[in-house]
């Protein structure tokens, strides 16, 4: 066969001199018309296959993050959403996806018992529209989804994103910072695991007591390998009285001179009542939600997500879930042909803009799908009138 790789051909010739020819065939494997020797490998999706001594391929049996038959099952079924392959997730095992792409720990019991704020809602006067999108009510103030890569730090990404939107809305656009998840990942290390997962209550504590700079000042560095190394903290701040902080270090991005520290007020927990969550978003801006991510969520492309039974024909290792946190920015409903309607939340993920609906997803609303309504958080930025004034003139200050 002429398709043999050079080294394979050479090794095989050596063999022929030492052994009888028929034993050569016993130690080789075929694939796509190519011949491989014992011990040679190739990767099939997330599984390594090795040419065994018997001339048979022996492959690992991991459940992969991207399973083509699960994608097909979702797209053939009547689930209300469509699935797709993502090249950036292909080749990872399901375990790796759960381990490196999520990263929010379930809140401790004390945090779960945080008092929910009481909202006085008047059903007569509080008209909640059938559709609402923060990006339309507050143009230029809702930040686009980032990509956490293979770093289990949704705890930092969702917190930074919600705080960024809230500060922009509250300051009426005088400040529209995109806050730095890396600042949280590298510096909020007390009981936090960086790229190995963390807690949102810890992230909000850090935002309130220490504060963070912008993404442009302290840019995100996606990990080059897993498990990720967390870089040392490159931003410190000091108190300047009344709880305010000031940076004592320059921006890690040397092109940026704006090391302003942004802070938040303590977070508050909303009730799990969808109407109260809706009212909060409409009045004050996006909220943070913790959710369970199942194996089929990774391949979501478009539509209204609900966890499906697409993997139920497969062995149990194909069904896994982990805890994640996201930012809910709005809601809507879709009319079905039969006149019924399907209600949904609009939420931003942190898997880049190539994933889902430009980095967003829609998920069933009002039925606690994947526990998305169980633990919902809001927070205010810490903004004074002098902040509004100073930041407004930021751009001119440089020339003085």
Give CA separation, 196 vs 67, 79, 296, in Å: 25, 32, 22
**Residue 177: Cβ-neighbour burial (10 angstroms; 0-12, 13-18, 19+):** buried
pLDDT bucket at 217, cuts 50 / 70 / 90: very high
- Distance, in Å, from the CA atom of 71 to the CA atom of 361, rounded to the nearest integer, reads 17
Contact residues for 316 (Cβ-Cβ < 8 A; gap 6+): none
Assess if residue 242 is contained within a domain: yes
Instruction: State the average pLDDT for the chain.
Output: 89
Q: Looking at 16, 40, 59, which one is the last position of a domain?
A: 59
pLDDT bucket at 38, cuts 50 / 70 / 90: very high
Mean pLDDT of 190-212: 95
Q: Which of 294, 307, 324, 391 is catalytic?
A: 324
**Are residues 141 and 97 part of one domain?**
yes
Instruction: Tell me which of 77-86, 115-124, 161-170 is least confident.
Output: 115-124
Q: Extract the runs of DSSP E, i.e. beta strands, from the chain.
A: 28-31, 34-37, 41-44, 47-51, 57-59, 81-83, 132-133, 237-239, 245-247, 268-270, 287-294, 300-305, 321-335, 341-348, 360-364, 376-378
**Are residues 16 and 41 part of one domain?**
yes
Give the domain extent around 189: 68-388
The string of pLDDT tens digits covering residues 228-247 is: 777 899 999 999 988 899 99
Share of the chain above pLDDT 70, in %: 89
Assess if residue 396 is contained within a domain: no
**Are residues 189 and 95 part of one domain?**
yes
Domain total for the chain?
2
Nearest Cα residue to 185 out of 137, 217, 221: 221
**Are residues 359 and 295 part of one domain?**
yes
* Catalytic (active site) residue 349: yes
**Are residues 351 and 315 part of one domain?**
yes
Mean pLDDT of 358-385: 95
Q: Which of 183, 307, 349, 391 is catalytic?
A: 349
Is pTM beyond 0.85? Reply is yes
Cα–Cα–Cα angle for 384, 389, 392, rounded to 5 degrees: 120
Say what the pLDDT of residue 384 is: 75
CATH number (domain holding residue 20): 2.10.70
Say what the pLDDT of residue 234 is: 96
pLDDT: which is higher, 170 or 17: 170
Say what the pLDDT of residue 391 is: 61
In this predicted structure, the answer to whether residue 216 has a pLDDT above a threshold of 70 is yes
**Residue 244: Cβ-neighbour burial (10 angstroms; 0-12, 13-18, 19+):** middle
Check residue 88 and report its DSSP letter. T
* Catalytic (active site) residue 324: yes
Q: Are 347 and 360 spatial neighbours (Cβ–Cβ below 8 Å)?
A: yes
232: left (phi over 0), alpha (psi -120 to 50) or beta: beta
């Amino acid at each position: 066969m002429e398709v043999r790789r050079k080294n394979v051909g050479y090794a095989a010739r050596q063999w022929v001199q030492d052994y009888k020819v028929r034993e050569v065939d016993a130690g080789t494997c075929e694939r796509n018309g190519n011949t491989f020797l014992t011990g040679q490998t190739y990767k099939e999706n997330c599984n390594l296959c090795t040419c065994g001594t018997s001339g048979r391929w022996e492959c690992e049996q991991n459940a992969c993050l991207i399973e083509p038959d699960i994608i097909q099952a979702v797209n053939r079924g009547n689930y209300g959403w469509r699935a797709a392959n993502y090249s950036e997730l292909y080749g990872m095992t399901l375990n790796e996806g759960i381990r490196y792409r999520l990263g929010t720990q379930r809140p401790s019991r004390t945090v779960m018992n945080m008092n929910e704020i009481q909202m006085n809602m008047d059903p007569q006067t509080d008209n909640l529209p059938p559709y609402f999108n923060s990006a339309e009510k507050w143009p230029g103030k809702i930040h686009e989804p980032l990509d956490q890569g293979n770093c289990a730090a949704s705890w930092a990404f969702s917190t930074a994103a919600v705080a960024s939107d809230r500060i922009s809305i509250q300051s009426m656009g005088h400040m529209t910072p995109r806050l730095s998840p890396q600042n949280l990942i590298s510096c909020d290390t007390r009981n936090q695991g960086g790229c190995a997962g963390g807690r949102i209550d810890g992230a909000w504590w850090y935002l309130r007591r220490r504060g963070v700079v912008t993404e442009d000042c302290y840019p995100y560095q996606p990990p080059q390998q897993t498990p990720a190394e967390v870089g040392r903290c490159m931003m410190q701040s000091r108190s300047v009285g009344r709880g305010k902080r000031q940076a004592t270090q320059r921006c890690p991005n040397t092109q940026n001179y704006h090391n302003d520290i942004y802070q938040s007020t303590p977070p508050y927990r909303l009730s799990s009542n969808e109407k109260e969550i809706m009212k909060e978003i409409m009045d004050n801006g996006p909220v943070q939600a913790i959710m369970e991510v199942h194996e089929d969520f990774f391949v979501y492309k478009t539509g209204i997500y609900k966890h499906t039974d697409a993997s139920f024909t497969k062995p149990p290792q194909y069904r896994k879930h982990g805890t994640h946190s996201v930012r809910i920015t709005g809601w809507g409903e879709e009319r079905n042909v039969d006149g019924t309607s399907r209600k949904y939340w609009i939420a931003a993920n942190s898997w880049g803009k190539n994933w889902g609906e430009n980095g967003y997803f829609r998920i069933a609303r009002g039925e606690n799908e994947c526990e998305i309504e169980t633990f919902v958080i809001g927070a205010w930025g810490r903004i004074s009138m002098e902040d509004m004034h100073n930041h407004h003139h930021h751009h001119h200050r440089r020339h003085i």
